[in-house]
A and B are shown apart, each in its own frame.
Chain A
Amino acid sequence: MINEIKKEIVTKLEKETIFSFLSEGKRIDERGPYDFRPVNIIPALIKKAEGSALVELGNTKILAGIKVSPARPFADEPNKGIFVVNTEFAPVASPIFEPGPPSEYAIEVARVVDRAIRSAEMIKLDELVIIPGKLVWMINIDIYTLDDDGNLIDASMIGAVSALLTGSIPKVEVIDEEKEEIEIIKEETRPIPIQDIPVTLTFAKIGNYIVLDPSHIEENIMDGRLTIAINQKNQICALQKGEGGGFKFEDVLLAKDIALRKAEELRSIILDHLAKKPRGDEAWEEIRGE
């Protein structure tokens, strides 16, 4: 039991309604099968974070934040920076989340986001070295779910990418390489070095139907889930099949085609929001509904 993702009860009526909509090529929330929900991004709103973004995907809400700190590099990659993705399924977000160590699902989401960012080589890790072989920057990307109305993977991915794109690294001066003495100058920063912007697109298989960006009511009755990550070169850069079965060969190929078609749309929405939206104190006005 504990190995399964806890699901909520869906009434027969809701289930039948979802299916009757799908049979007409529609969805219960009036979307088309391959539409994602409206995306809203509020960037750089957390002062103490080096990068942050609040993301709304329909009613799903997540908050991603970045902290950077000096750390020892991995032995097999002494001249590369480090990044770690962590998700906190905060119990504020859903009646089925509980406080405590991360669930399997939370770890899965973090690992999928990590994989998509890593495979796309989004961050130029070799530009994060402080003292070669000894000290590098570690970027901690922490993602908090605030409201779970389904598809936490794509919402988390948008959050992680947006936080990285708003993120900065403080200037550092090496005082003594031998003793590893450094001075961090927080007032002077540079953007986190980025070279790609990957996105993920998650599909659900419900009966014989495939839908993009499942809401939580659709997740509760889906047979299977498939996430496809696409980098800026329009290559597939990560895959994750989740939940039960459901996907056949032709389904996977269909999902791939839709993902490739939708990736650029999602990417330009992200960039558009990051370019236009106010940051810092002003960002909170939107959250307050002002």
Chain B
Amino acid sequence: MELKEEIILLTPEGKRSDGRRWDELRPIRMRVGVLKRADGSALVEMGNTKVLAAVYGPRESHPRHLLPPDRAILRVAYRMATFSVEERKKPQPSRREIELSKVIKEALEPALYLEEFPRTAIDVYTLVLQADGGTRTASINAASLALADAGIPMKGLVTAVAVGRIGDQIIVDLNDLEDKYGDADMPIAMVPVTGEITLLQMDGTMPPDLFEEALKVAKRALEIIYNEQKKALRERYLRIKDEVLGEEK
């Protein structure tokens, strides 16, 4: 290991490594319906983290006898592009990617009316184009938009964000540096309309009183992101409307 210069995550003035305040989110950009072949798709950017999601289905799947007779199955594959990270990632899925695929699936499932489509499969694919921390939460935000774009009936969108800790300061929407060198990283997803938490993970350490505060902080951040999601969906429908009206002329 080569010696690294000391990394300053939080200045005495309360500025983070990328100049943000503790509760400041990175610039959020969301666009729904970015792919032609997919049934639903979305591109979500949280600063330098950029994730593409596509949904196919509900569709037939084989072997059919493995499909439950009373609902659709949800399959999720989270992958990182080889060039999305500093050192080239090998193209084969890593253990990390497989675990994240599973937790993302479980974060999305509670929001879906899977019983509407028995004996079918819904496939969600997320591809991290550029990684700067928070790729699983960006994937969830993108995937839930893509599911809505595909017209899958949902109780509500799923919204996700990571909160963390530097010393005794809670921070929101961690970048890669804060994720690697901070004291805690806690991604959280919820369905805002039902209030259900559908993903909760943490690594690092968090004192109990800060944990409670972290949850509160996360809730505020989720609200902002949820509003961006709704805005992006609405913008998609307006675009479709324009296309249809344009054709009628």
Contact = CB atoms under 8 A, between A and B. Distances in A.
A287 B82 contact: no
Interface in B106-160: 123, 125, 127, 129-131
A232 B29 CA distance: 40
B172 interface: no
Given A90-B79, A92-B53, A95-B59, A67 B88 contact: yes
Contacts, number: 99
B79 A99 contact: yes
B224 interface: no
Contacts of A63: 81, 129
Given A88-B91, A91-B123, A144-B127, A52 B37 contact: no
Contact of B130 (A46, A144, A148, A288): A46
Nearest to B123: A91
Contacts of A142: 81-83, 88, 91
Given A90-B79, A91-B54, A288 B31 contact: yes
Interface in B42-60: 43, 45, 48, 50, 52-54, 56, 59
Contacts of B129: 46, 63
Contacts of A69: 87-88
B35 interface: yes
Given A46-B83, A95-B37, A289 B127 contact: no
Contacts of A140: 82-83, 88
Contacts of B77: 91, 99
B82 A92 contact: no
B53 A48 contact: no
B198 interface: no
A99 B127 CA distance: 11
Contacts of A65: 81-84
B83 A67 contact: yes
Interface in B194-229: none
Interface in A82-117: 86, 88, 90-95, 99, 101-102
B37 A94 contact: yes
B67 interface: no
A52 B129 CA distance: 11
A92 B81 contact: no
A225 interface: no
B168 interface: no
Interface residues on A, range: 35 or more
A59 interface: yes
A144 B93 CA distance: 14
B36 A147 contact: yes
User: Dominant SS at the A interface?
Assistant: mixed
B240 interface: no
Contacts of A101: 92
A26 B54 CA distance: 33
Nearest to B78: A99
A113 B44 CA distance: 30
B247 interface: no
A76 B27 CA distance: 50
Contact of A92 (B59, B84, B92, B125): B125
Interface centre among A47, A69, A101 (most CB of B within 10 A): A47
A256 interface: no
Nearest to A287: B43
Contact of A147 (B29, B35, B45): B35
Nearest to B85: A48
A284 interface: yes
Contacts of A46: 81, 83-84, 129-130
Nearest to B53: A92
Interface string B28-41: 01010011111001
Given A46-B130, A91-B125, A149-B37, A66 B56 contact: no
Interface of B: 29, 31, 34-38, 41, 43, 45, 48, 50, 52-54, 56, 59, 77, 79, 81-88, 91-93, 123, 125, 127, 129-131
10 contacts: A49-B83, A65-B82, A86-B91, A90-B127, A93-B37, A95-B59, A99-B79, A142-B81, A144-B127, A147-B36
Interface of A: 46-49, 52, 59, 61, 63, 65-67, 69, 86, 88, 90-95, 99, 101-102, 140, 142, 144, 146-149, 216, 284, 287-289
Give 5 nearest A-B pairs by CB, closest first. Answer: A65-B83, A92-B54, A49-B83, A67-B88, A142-B82
